[in-house]
Structure 1
Amino acid sequence: MVYADWGDPQRTLAVAKALMRAPLKEILSTLSEAMTDLIQHHALVMLTGDCPKSATWNHGDAELTQDVTSTELAALATHVDVGKPWFGEARLAGSLRPVLAVASAPPGSAGAMLAVLPADGSAPEPRVLAVIQQLWDLATVRVIDLMPQAVPVDMAGPWIANSERARVVANLTDAHATTLTTLLGVLRTRTLDAEAARRTATDIAVSALVELRATGEDEELPPEETVGGAFGRLSDMLGLLSRYSNVELEFSPPDCRQRLLPADIARAALTTARGTVLTMLEQGGVSRIRVSWQVEDTELRTTIRDDGPGTLAAEALAVHRLTDRVAALNGALHVDAVPEWGTIVTARLPLTAPDRPHSDPLGGLNPRELDVLERLVHGHRNRAIAQQLQISEHTVKFHVAKILKKLGVNSRGEAAALARASGFPTALSLVT
């Protein structure tokens, strides 16, 4: 390690100059070259909240980096604080290995973490860690400069990949809950003898492990899938819940089975339906649940009805983050519970944004952003907006950032003034 060279101002400035001039696709390779005499390494992997297309970038050993998943990086990020390098063992590419992780979150950034896979297992000296941290700070600033179109998402507690990690955790939680509920049904059923119940439970557990490993691989979904294909996956996903229980699940498929759905809408519809069914089962006293989809010109509507006690509250759906999942796609979730008659949960996911005249400065805002803007006009803060719209404060912050970007303004006050000048309603409408 030739650390002494970093005491030469010309060397240090040359490295900084190279980083600040590097094209977006060459930032990691430039950084890797600069770090060669600080820490010998096989590869660099980056997790960022600033890139709207991909959260992970990599450079180095392709056989190693191609197996690193965003789920593993999100787990590593929980150990790292901004400005405080961390060295230890972490699971990357499916195995525990020595990793150096550094995090940076300069103003205007959602935060970024760099994972360095060293050639040996020895921890760098503190003075070396300080230089690597400063290099990563510069690289993160360069990434932000080259992506002005990206809207940083507030990723608090921990600081990075909160949205991605929350999605993965919520999906895995629902998947595990489905498996456990099914296993309990097998163990309680009187239609299977002990040997058959044991074989069935083993098959269910093996299938769940296969699904878990597939999820960990974080495969990319195709951009679209057919309505029929998505609904078929939903019925397969939920079918086990009723096979060995006293609850009958009915499925009413949509008519337009060949229509294409955006992948994120299809995935949200599936996870929302599964979480809702699990929530309904948790309340007890349910013998029948009916799941139906209806696809219209502008929205996908999922309706789930049970014959339970009719006491399900909207807050119960928050346990599975259902409200946040739907709101993140500018959708709406409605709960209609009637005591002794059952509960109907309706999720509406928009497929297209409403048309507005191009002369309208607010025409680029979607319905949820208009809801948030309406409350900004009246001076409401994020917490109040979150309570009124029944979404999280993080989701509100995300919408506010997008509103400012779309309107080309720098503050909430400017956005409110522009809205008033455009004839935006001056009084809040009643929301039923």
Structure 2
Amino acid sequence: MPKTSFSLHAGADLAARSGMVAAASLREVAERLHTALDDVWPHTALVIFTEDCTGRPRKKAGDPEITQHVTIAEMTALRDRAAGGHWTGEAEFGGRPRLVTVLGADTGAVLVLSVPEEPADEDRVTCTRVLWSVAAACIARQVAEAAPDYLQESRAVTSERLRVTAELTDRHVTDLESLLAALRTRDLDDARARARAIDLAADALIRARSGADLVAFIAEEPVSRAFERLKSDLRPLTRYEALQIQFIEPPADGRALPGEVAHAGRAIVRSAVLLMREQEEVTRIRVQWDCDGTNLLVSVRDDGPGRMDSGLPPLRQLAARATALGGDLDLESVDNWGSRVEVRIPLDPPDTSEQPNESWGLAPREAEVLRLLTAGRRNRQIATQLGISENTVKFHTSQIYQKLGVTSRAAAAALATEAGLR
């Protein structure tokens, strides 16, 4: 890629690039950062890795021959090399050794660029760091806000990824265990070859199991660790204000929380505490998490006047977050006693083994398109998410209309919602 002239003195240009990245959705952030860095630090591919974004920990842009083959194991190894800083060198990326630059972030996320060379111009490096810090903060903010559409997509993607990963891991483990059993027999004459094959197969078996553990680690968060992060988030309120927050710890050995549930729980508690704090006469708020093995149970109670109204837009937003994950929120307010917000969020997604699309005769891909259509996605967004063309999306949409007996997106979405299709 040819070099282009670049100067950091144009502060307005850097501000414009930063604004473009900061305004990106989680789905757009990699592509926008790729565009913003195009003439700053030439690269062929860009991948962001963040464990906080459990649905899609890898966000990619650039050459699909590279990005489609980048694994979580590769990104984890590269993150360790950078150790939160900046590292450039040759490493495994996209299935083979490449020259890459790795940039860490305060949020724990990591950016990897496949580069032809590292620019000697310090302005380019500085600008890249600025834009990457904006992107990392953008991701962290949106994950922390836990908007309902993000939670729904995150749960769907996480569930599907875990299912596929479990199936692949079981298959690999079975194959490797069969290989080990065969190689350990006395029917093979070459003892050295057999020993070497056993070592290779054993290593592969360990890697397969480690990969499954890594995926599970990203997708889930121990309930005690999730609660500690919540306490850390709320600590500034007690440091500078005459407000006491009492934390009731969850069971230390409770079931791990799916990432989207942990994000939603923290976001709901933070918002509820801030709403309660705005009331007069509130001096103490009690926050409790519990986990019954099936649900995350959240309770936030204040000692205020007891006049919180469930019709307030912020409370409706909290209820929408819980509903997005199949849960519910209840508000109880009693004069001169206080207000209490109770939330239940299921740890597992709803059982979709008998979804109504079976009676419609939808093909698997048509069902995926219908789910995204029902979630409000446009054709271009559906095409991007499923890795197909917009014309293919239009074809699937026409087939869906015919099978559902409708003539519009709104009618199809309404019918799917009524039938409980998620």
Same-fold call, TM cutoff 0.5: no
- Compute the TM-score of the two structures, normalised by the length of structure 1: 0.43
- Compute the TM-score of the two structures, normalised by the length of structure 2: 0.44
